[in-house]
Amino acid sequence: MRTRSRSTGWILLGLIGIAMIAAACAARGGRRAPSAAEARAFVQSANAQLYELSVKAARAEWVKANFITQDTEAIAAEASENYVTASVALAKRAARFDGVALDASTRRQLELLKRAITMPAPEDRALARELTQIATRMDSHYGTARYCPGAAQGDDCLDIIEIREIHEKSRDPDALLDVWQGWRTTSAAIRDDYRRFVELANQGARELGYADTGALWRSNYDMPPAAFAEEMDRLWQQVLPLYEALHCYVRSRLSAFYGPDVVPLDAPIPAHLLGNMWAQQWGNIFDLVAPADADPGYDLTSLLARAGYDELHMVRSGENFFSSLGFAPLPDTFWERSLFVKPRDREVVCHASAWDVDEVDDLRIKMCIEVGAEDFQTIHHELGHNYYQRAYNRQPFVFRGSANDGFHEAIGDAIALSVTPAYLVKLGLLEREPPASQDIGLLLRAALDKVAFLPFGLLVDQWRWGVFSGEISPKDYNAGWWALREKIQGIRPPVPRPETLFDAGAKYHVPGNTPYSRYFLAHILQFQFHRALCALAGYAGPLNRCTIYGSAAAGRKLNEMLEMGLSQPWPVALQALTGSREIDASAILDYFAPLKTWLDAQNQGRRCGW
């Protein structure tokens, strides 16, 4: 899967950092109750100082991500340290106004300042510095990690892009096992760093009044932490029958290809055989599992090559999509400052991300683009972040974010759902839409990415919640990781995984400290958004064939929600676009309903589950 960051890079994703409010401001209140005017002045000052620190940290992080050296790591770590330490100080100071009668906007800004922290630094400056240095070191380790097969060195070593390509294309189980194990040797080096990271972050969370860092994360959804965990479980139960049907079908096809000794029909699927380094999306094995009569009728990668698309042309197509909805073109600086192609002369973090460096109009994407279907969709997704960032840039600074973190990801993915055959026809890439009889192939291909991802999107944070709470101790990091993967995802490691390794750390978002529940929510919300946008565009056919390209009506309604940013609780923003205040997985079930009927027929007589 393309994993994507929300905005300005790994550490800025969920940090809302601010400068420490002057000591005189605190002293002014003394022992008397603070006034509403003082609260408003506090928020205004915090917004201004937050803006200044965020720009400094974003610029430092951009340079570090694009020029990975010891010096850029040190600069980024220092900026992050200032950012994080100050954010914790402000969260504590904001609590002083808890009992003050305030207007709704000021109250919400104070609440966001208190809870919107994903890396809570301890108050002790030395410990805060240690925390940010560890975080920067883990992130850079991931960006520079290489697997060197055997005694190979130098040019013979494989980076994550090369390893990912082997996973996507190889059908040799031995070769797949080799690179699967090899990449996970690189993450073992950060196991001790991560243990210490958890200790320090938990200390910071407890100083803020939370039981642990996981509880702090779960508090950031306009509901109590326990209610959020229940909401995640409710949504998972809605989609579980669809996932179980897909898992059962895919396992049977892999067993037929590799043999029942490699893929038993009554056990979890070996993790290295699903076409993805983390077995989080399975679209790359479509050729192994697609029935003979499920040809989708076209190959987007081939269409792009035939039309002469290069990296820049792909990005221009994404911009054109938003222009067709009525959005203004991207600024000239976007084209001057973005990274589209992997440099040959230096190390960069290739993980695709969308940035708003000055939190106003300095929009950028950072990608090592490869011309093909996957990155064509990723570009539309990342630009969804950029247009969201620009839509809310006139809000007070603490409101410059998505309604919840799942919204930012869902907007990008909802736009990518409009990359349909009908859209490709409008671009001139495809002569005509395939007939409806070929929809099963298209739906199966989409489900291998969208539906297969759901349990992985759920379990990454469930593992971290257990780590932060102490339910999963450092001596059981690997065992806890694989227990969840088997229980929720029906996936098992192909070989034993000792506790000297750190397999969770082989996934970018763990060393990058990016909360992952947003991706699960996004995979539900994107279909809810897509269904609403298609209705606004006047479309009444099957959801999987809808594109909103060219619909000014859909664009206007979408922009109304985007402009809200974080200024309203997410149910209000959701209602503005969809008419409902509740996240509802029925849209994803509607989208894949024809496929579910087909899968159930294929699975008759099989023993499903694991």
Percent of the chain with pLDDT over 70: 94
Among 194, 243, 423, 519, the active-site one is 519
Q: Is 167 a catalytic residue?
A: no
- The whole-angstrom separation of Cα 220 and Cα 234 is 18
pLDDT in tens, 571-586: 999 999 999 999 999 9
Q: Is 352 a catalytic residue?
A: yes
Among 167, 247, 272, 385, the active-site one is 385
What average pLDDT does the segment 231-254 reach?
98
Q: Is 221 a catalytic residue?
A: no
**HEC secondary structure over 275-341:** CCCCCCCCHHHHHHHCCCCCCCCCCHHHHHHHCCCCHHHHHHHHHHHHHHCCCCCCCHHHHHHCECC
Among 167, 247, 272, 351, the active-site one is 351
Q: Is the pLDDT of residue 9 over 70?
A: no
**Cβ atoms of 458 and 232 closer than 8 Å:** yes
**pLDDT value of residue 151:** 56
Q: Is 247 a catalytic residue?
A: no
Q: What is the pTM of this model?
A: 0.86
What average pLDDT does the segment 166-170 reach?
92
**pLDDT value of residue 277:** 94
**Cβ atoms of 167 and 266 closer than 8 Å:** no
192 pLDDT tier (thresholds 50, 70, 90): very high
Q: Is the pLDDT of residue 30 over 80?
A: no
What average pLDDT does the segment 452-462 reach?
98
What average pLDDT does the segment 532-549 reach?
96
Task: Lowest mean pLDDT of 84-88, 149-153, 448-452, 552-556, name the range.
Answer: 149-153
pLDDT in tens, 420-443: 999 999 999 999 998 877 889 889
pLDDT in tens, 501-525: 999 999 999 999 999 999 999 999 9
Among 61, 73, 81, 382, the active-site one is 382
Q: Is 523 a catalytic residue?
A: no
Under DSSP, the state recorded for 19 is P
How many residues would you count in the chain?
610
Q: Is 519 a catalytic residue?
A: yes
E strands, 129-240, are: none
Q: Is the pLDDT of residue 116 over 80?
A: no
Q: Is the pLDDT of residue 393 over 80?
A: yes
Residues ≥6 apart with Cβ < 8 Å to 359: 51, 54, 55, 58, 389, 393, 397, 400
69 pLDDT tier (thresholds 50, 70, 90): confident
Q: Is 272 a catalytic residue?
A: no
**pLDDT value of residue 297:** 77
What average pLDDT does the segment 465-491 reach?
98
Q: Is the pLDDT of residue 152 over 70?
A: no
What average pLDDT does the segment 376-386 reach?
94
Among 247, 380, 408, 509, the active-site one is 509
Say how many CA atoms lie within 13 Å of 186 toward its Cβ. Answer: 25
Q: Is the pLDDT of residue 23 over 80?
A: no
What average pLDDT does the segment 6-11 reach?
36
Beta-strand pair 269-270/353-356: unpaired
Q: Is the pLDDT of residue 534 over 60?
A: yes
**pLDDT value of residue 214:** 96
Q: What is the DSSP string of 334-376?
A: HHHH-B-S--SSS----S-EEEETTSSS-EEEE----SSHHHH
Structure tokens at 406: 């799942």
Percent of the chain with pLDDT over 90: 77
Structure tokens at 170: 């190889």
Among 94, 201, 352, 522, the active-site one is 352
32 pLDDT tier (thresholds 50, 70, 90): confident
325 pLDDT tier (thresholds 50, 70, 90): very high
Q: How far apart are the first and last CA of the chain?
A: 23
Q: Is the pLDDT of residue 66 over 60?
A: yes
**pLDDT value of residue 27:** 38
Q: Is the pLDDT of residue 19 over 90?
A: no
258 pLDDT tier (thresholds 50, 70, 90): very high
Q: Is the pLDDT of residue 31 over 90?
A: no
- The whole-angstrom separation of Cα 134 and Cα 106 is 35
344 pLDDT tier (thresholds 50, 70, 90): confident
Helix (H) or strand (E) holding 144: helix 125-144
**Cβ atoms of 214 and 464 closer than 8 Å:** yes
- The whole-angstrom separation of Cα 428 and Cα 390 is 29
pLDDT averaged over the chain? Answer: 90
b/e map 315-336, b = 16+ CB within 10 Å: bebbbebbebbebeebbeebee
Among 409, 477, 506, 523, the active-site one is 409
406 pLDDT tier (thresholds 50, 70, 90): very high
What average pLDDT does the segment 163-181 reach?
94
150 pLDDT tier (thresholds 50, 70, 90): confident
Closest CA to 523 of 399, 368, 414, 596: 414
**pLDDT value of residue 5:** 36
Q: Is 509 a catalytic residue?
A: yes
**Position with higher pLDDT, 435 vs 56:** 56
